Structure 1
Amino acid sequence: MERAVTPPTATGRGASSPRRVPVLLLAVACGMTVGNLYLALPLLDVLADHFDASQPSTSLVVVLSQAAYALGLVLVVPLGDMLDQRRLILVLMAVEAAALLAAALAPSLALLYLVAFGVGAGAVVVMVMVPYAASRAPEHARGRVLASVMSGLLIGSLLVRFLSGVLGELVGWRPVYLGAAAASLILTLLLALRLRPEAKRPEPATHGYGALIASLPGLLREHAVLRERALYGALCFAAFAAFWTPLPFLLAGDPYHYGSGAVGLVSLLGVGGVVAAGIAGRQADRAPGGRLTFLMLTGVTLSFLPALGGGSQLWLLLLAAILVDFTAQGAHLSNQGEIYRLPVQIRGRVTSVYMTAYFMGGAVGGMASAGAYAAWGWSAVCLLGGGLSGVAALVCGIRWWRDR
């Protein structure tokens, strides 16, 4: 992975440019921070036992984090088009560290809901860092820079899920949150040292916070690519969340009877998403990604076929986990490659619109799958996830075929 990418300057002395991008640090920060959204995922069964709560009730810890993240995408990420992005990143990282510390100390499930909402709101910093990197990368290498940051994001989020599951089984859930709070604080300090103050940026098309937020619906009306990619992203991530949200309960019950550490180990199989990010990043630098997006969305849909058998056969469940992560992350990066072709002045708001749709889809998919699993079992979860991604693949396929 590249340590930094510096756009060439007019004098050719790229190394002296104030727009040097610390890709490795941003990748690590994104990975660790977005992993906090899923910190509770391997711990859901542990939390249910600790608080003597039902499985759907503890699932709300993950769902509320995602819902808060989506809300932050609407209300916070657009500020990247108006404020100094470095300062915004540092403030949000500090909020994330404080929320994680509060979660570690939460005495009840109700209060854990509240601070989980704060964790999700602070984690929105990831979607300030991604356009920060994209805006400072040279045009010819933007896809590779995004792929590097997203690869770090995926690796970090996988490691967080793995460590959360293993440590949760060994020492309990509170030390997991304490460790995540300490990591967020350290990353905040490193970012403060490495992110340089911004040079003069293009003026935003709107002035004032109210006008900035009010402009979001107009972006959907004006840019067809944003409408389409927001739809694909929402449906794809809904399918992804539908698979992963009830998985701890499946592994804890018949016929597996595994602990939270097993969920963390299964999460590591998502390393295939890192490979997918690299493929999609290279493709994004060469040509529009309609075909790649269609193939990835189709792959997500087909992943739920082995998942059906995964209710009783572990090897099929592991295969499905690999395929779901690989194809869902490939589709996501393909979508990002397309929306970041839009003008730099609106990139923060473009990110806001796309990622709001994306995580709202995840919140709905996770909540629906938790209810489906409680009512009808794992087969209903697979039908739900396959149906959601299947609609996205169908719409994308029709559009790609018409535009050929």
Structure 2
Amino acid sequence: MSGLRSSTRPRSRSGEGGSAFVLTRGVVLLFAVACGASVANVYFSQPLLVTMGDDLAMSPALVGSVVTLTHVGYGLGLFFLVPLGDMADRRRLIVAQLLFLVVALLVVSTAHTAAILLAGMAATGLLAVVTQTSVAFAASLAPPAERGRVVGLVTSGVVIGILLARTASGLMADLAGWRSVYLASASLTALLALILYRALPHHGDAPSTTTLRYGQLLRSTLTLFARERLLRLRALFGLLIFAAFSTLWSSVALPLSEAPYSLSHSAIGALGLIGVVGALAATAAGRLNDRGLSRRTTGIALALLAVSWVPLAFTRDSLWALVVGVILLDLAVQAVHVTNQTLIYALRPDAGSRLIGGYMVFYSIGSATGAIAATSLYTVAGWGAVCALGAAFSCLGLALWALTRHEPADG
């Protein structure tokens, strides 16, 4: 990666005002791994719900609330915890959140009642937003000319974590039970906390933070949306692309588990490996943003997103069509997502955590909307209707881009 040092050891260099932290390729990759491992905790439970319910004698309705509470916790964390990155030492904040996440994961792994499990899952979701704190920190440490590339690499880690979480948890649960998934994650999270504590810059080497108090900080997040049109526009793009993303990934298991395929849960989970190919495009999108091509990147990606639903519509006839559609969809979503984050961070680097946290609230709304709508629609109208829904979200995004592409605020 040109422009970033290949050494894995952070270095300081002298300059005006003292020492400055030099972001190395190794630290960027460390951010990516930490982000992927953290966000995966939100998705581990999805293949494990039946096993969890049987183990703790939970009703189907109560089991379903495991996923709901995890996402509710995540949404709350985006608003209440991520903005702290603009007022606190981000290194200490990230390490502290990871250590609290270890505690939450241990609670989940040792839960022997439904109430304890649900409390642990809500806390896990709340603390998993350390992912977004880390994205904002990585963006703040990157030179402006390299920011798109850095955000792209770190975002690749996030997406790979999301896509592989279900596959990893299913395989581990088959080998050692569902509790082993959370014990292993707690161990990895603790290790990452130690490594990040040693690798990330101290407060003196990090970008300066705001002097706002916590209440003012939260209010300013809302004020940023009122003042920054680009933030509102990119948040809408984020909502629509993740509604399309969730439309696919929340429902694709349904046709694949039925005739003519009747695939196992492990085979369906392996689809995440295919999605990783598209997710790796996030780095390329970051490079295009660094060259000032954010508007064009957004338009091309949204067009690909709309086109991806054509092969996806033939999923029942061909697994190859599904593979092509998955790669196109994930490539397009990540290209827009990286572009969004790079542009909104540049608006106010001093408010980076608030900007990214606020933007990700719309990601959560879009993801929830797509999941609920797709699973409900499949029950009453089948896979073709689900693909029409995903295409509608995608075309809305493309139409929004077409209407705003000549405006200066569109980056």
Partner SS, residue 346 of structure 2: coil
C-alpha deviation, 1:293, in angstroms: 1.0
Residues 1:202 and 2:205 are matched in the alignment: no
Stretch of structure 1 that moved more, 310-319 or 352-361: 310-319
Instruction: Tell me, yes or no, if the aligned pair for 1:45 and 1:248 is still in contact at 8 Å.
Output: no
What are structure 2's unaligned runs of at least 5 residues?
Answer: none
Q: Is the 8 A contact 1:151 1:278 kept in 2?
A: yes
Structure 2 matches for 1:335-374, cutoff 5 A? 335-374=340-379
TM-superposed CA distance for 1:48, in Å, is 6.8
Q: Which deviates more, 161-170 or 131-140? A: 161-170
Matched, 1:137 2:142: yes
CA distance in 1, matches of 2:47, 2:261: 15
CA spacing shift, 1:384–1:341, aligned 2, 3 Å: same
Return 252-261 or 333-342, whichever deviates more: 252-261
Name the CA distance, whole Å, in 1 between partners of 2:209 and 2:309. Answer: 46
Partner of residue 251, structure 2: 246
Where does 1:159-178 land on structure 2 (aligned, <5 Å)?
A: 159-178=164-183
Cα shift at 1:57: 6.8
In structure 2, the residue corresponding to 1:17 is in which secondary structure?
strand
Deviation at 1:196, TM superposition (A): 2.7
Is it true that 1:224 corresponds to 2:229 in the alignment?
A: yes
> Does 2:401 match 1:376?
no
Instruction: Give the TM-score taking structure 1 as reference length.
Output: 0.89
Tell me, yes or no, if the aligned pair for 2:21 and 2:141 is still in contact at 8 Å: no
Write the deviation string for residues 344-385 of structure 1: whole angstroms up to 9, x where unpaired: 211111111111111221122222222223343323322222
| Whole-angstrom distance in 2 between the partners of 1:224 and 1:188 | 36
Instruction: Answer yes or no: is the 8 Å Cα contact 1:90–1:191 preserved in 2.
Output: yes
- Superposition pairs of residues 175-194 of structure 1, within 5 angstroms: 175-194=180-199
Q: 1:203 to 1:321 in 2, by over 3 A?
A: closer
Matched residue, 1:99: 104
Query: Separation in 2 of the partners of 1:57 and 1:381?
Result: 26
Percent identical: 37
How many angstroms does 1:222 deviate by?
A: 1.1
- Distance, in Å, in 1 between the alignment partners of 2:10 and 2:288 is 19
Structure 1 residues 114 and 242, CA gap change in structure 2 (3 angstroms) = farther
Between the aligned partners of 2:218 and 2:17, the Cα distance in structure 1 is: 38
Q: Distance in 2 between matches of 1:96 and 1:314?
A: 38
Q: Does 1:17 align with 2:20?
A: yes
User: In the alignment, is residue 397 of structure 1 matched against residue 396 of structure 2?
Assistant: no
Q: Secondary structure at the match of 1:83?
A: coil
The equivalent residue for 1:153 is: 158
Contact kept in structure 2, 1:66 and 1:360, CA below 8 Å: no
Task: Report how many residues are paired.
Answer: 400
Cα distance, 1:84–1:372 mapped onto 2, change above 3 Å: same
Deviation per CA, 1:92-118: give whole Å up to 9, x if none.
112222222222334466654443222
Contact 1:134/1:142 (8 A) holds in 2: yes
Separation (CA, whole Å) in 2 of partners of 1:119 and 1:312: 39
Contact between 2:242 and 2:333, CA under 8 Å: does it hold in 1? yes
Equivalents in 1 of 2:54, 2:245: separation in Å? Answer: 26
**d(CA) in 1 for partners of 2:62 and 2:397?**
29
**CA distance, structure 2, for counterparts of residue 247 and residue 52 of structure 1:** 26
- SS in structure 2 at match of 1:120: helix
Change (3 A) 1:111 1:324: farther
Q: Distance in 1 between matches of 2:16 and 2:208?
A: 21
- Provide the aligned C-alpha RMSD in A: 2.8
- The answer on 1:123 being equivalent to 2:128 is yes
Please give the TM-score of this superposition, normalised by the length of structure 2: 0.87
Check 1:45–1:294 CA distance in 2 against 1; reply closer, same or farther (3 A cut). farther
Mapped partners of 2:325, 2:242: distance in 1: 15
Q: How big is the shift at 1:288?
A: 4.7
Structure-2 change in CA distance of 1:98 and 1:373 (3 Å): farther
Q: Are the counterparts in 2 of residues 310 and 316 from structure 1 also a CA contact under 8 Å?
A: yes
Return the alpha-carbon distance in structure 1 between the equivalents of residues 279 and 346 of structure 2.
22
- State the distance in 1 between where 2:302 and 2:54 align: 36
Change in CA separation of 1:275 and 1:292 when aligned onto 2, cut-off 3 Å: same
Structure 1: gaps spanning 5 or more residues: none
**Map of 1:257 onto structure 2:** 262
Shift of 1:135: 0.7
Tell whether the 8 Å contact from 1:246 to 1:370 is kept in structure 2 after alignment. Answer: yes
After TM superposition, the structure 1 stretch with the greater mean CA deviation from structure 2, 370-379 or 116-125, is 370-379
